[in-house]
Amino acid sequence: MSEPQRSRAVFSSEDFRLIRNAIAYYVREVQDDPEASKYANLYHRLGRVG
């Protein structure tokens, strides 16, 4: 039997930085929206990843 192939990362560290910056910008734009806190939480979670 052959070994299963290793999975490849979908996003690079650079991608996480770019996504995090985009979310930070979006959070500032929609800060009065009730959904803004969800994006702020996502921003912080991405900070732990990348």
Alpha helices in 1-50 (DSSP H): 13-29, 36-49
Tracing tokens 């996504």 back to the chain, one arrives at 19
Q: What is the pTM of this model?
A: 0.70
Q: Which amino acid is at 29?
A: E
Reported as half-sphere exposure (CB side, CA atoms, 13 A), residue 46 has a value of 20
The pLDDT of residue 29: 93
Per-residue pLDDT tens digits for 28-38: 999 899 889 99
Please report, for the chain, the start and end positions of each structural domain, with discontinuous segments joined by +: 13-49
Q: Rounded CA gap, 3 and 16, in Å?
A: 30
Cα separation, 32 vs 26, in Å, equals 11
pLDDT tens for 1-50 read 788 888 888 888 899 899 999 999 999 999 899 889 999 999 999 887 75
pLDDT for res 46? 86
- In this prediction, residue 50 carries a pLDDT of 57
